Amino acid sequence: MRIGILAYEGCLAAEIFVFSDLLLIANRVVRQAGGPAEDPFQVSVISASAAPVAAAGGFPIGAQRWGHRFDRLIVPGFELVPAEDLDPRLGLWRRESAFLRAAAARGTHVASVCVGAFLLGEAGLLDGRRCTTSWLFASELGRRYPQSIVQSESLVVRDGRVTTTAAFSAALDLATDIIREHLGDDIARATARITLVAENRTSQSPYVVESMLPTARGPFAQEVADWLVAHLADPYDLNRLADAFHVSTRTLLRRFRAEADESPLTFLQRARVRAAKRLLETTDRPLGEIIERIGYQDAGTFRRLFVTQVGVSPADYRRKFRA
Question: Are residue 220 and residue 194 in the same domain, yes or no?
Answer: no
Three-class SS of residue 69?
coil
Question: Are residue 148 and residue 13 in the same domain, yes or no?
Answer: yes
**The pLDDT value given to residue 216:** 67
Residue at a domain's end among 175, 206, 237: 206
Contact 286, 318 (CB under 8 A): no
The pTM of this model reads 0.81
Question: Are residue 54 and residue 166 in the same domain, yes or no?
Answer: yes
Q: Which residue range forms the structural domain that includes residue 223?
A: 215-321
Query: Which portions of the chain are predicted below pLDDT 70?
Result: 216, 323
Cα–Cα distance list, 51 to 24, 62, 69 (Å): 24, 7, 19
Residue pLDDT, tens place only, 141-175: 999 999 999 999 899 999 999 999 999 999 999 99
Instruction: Give the C-alpha separation, 288 to 281, whole Å.
Output: 15
Which one-letter amino acid corresponds to residue 144? R
**The pLDDT value given to residue 227:** 95
**The pLDDT value given to residue 323:** 66
Note the helical H segments in 93-169.
Answer: 94-105, 117-122, 138-144
Which one-letter amino acid corresponds to residue 299? A
Give the rounded distance of the alpha carbon of 284 from its chain centre. Answer: 29
DSSP per-residue string spanning 270-303:
HHHHHHHHHHHHH----HHHHHHHTT-S-HHHHH
Helix (H) / strand (E) element for 153: namely none
Report how many domains make up the chain.
2
Question: Are residue 188 and residue 223 in the same domain, yes or no?
Answer: no
Instruction: Give the C-alpha separation, 154 to 226, whole Å.
Output: 29
Instruction: Give the C-alpha separation, 300 to 320, whole Å.
Output: 21
CATH of the domain at 192: 3.40.50.880
**The pLDDT value given to residue 217:** 80
Residue at a domain's end among 206, 237, 266: 206
Which one-letter amino acid corresponds to residue 107? G
Nearest to 60 by CA among 5, 11, 118, 105: 11
Question: Are residue 46 and residue 141 in the same domain, yes or no?
Answer: yes
Residue at a domain's end among 206, 235, 267: 206
Quickly count: other Cβ atoms within 10 Å of residue 38's Cβ: 9
Q: 10: exposed, middle or buried (C-beta count within 10 Å: 0-12, 13-18, 19+)? A: middle
**The pLDDT value given to residue 83:** 82
Residue pLDDT, tens place only, 162-212: 999 999 999 999 999 999 999 999 999 999 999 999 887 888 988 888 778
Q: Where on the phi/psi map is residue 16: left (φ > 0), alpha (ψ -120 to 50), or beta?
A: alpha
Q: Which residues pair with 150 in a beta bridge?
A: 131
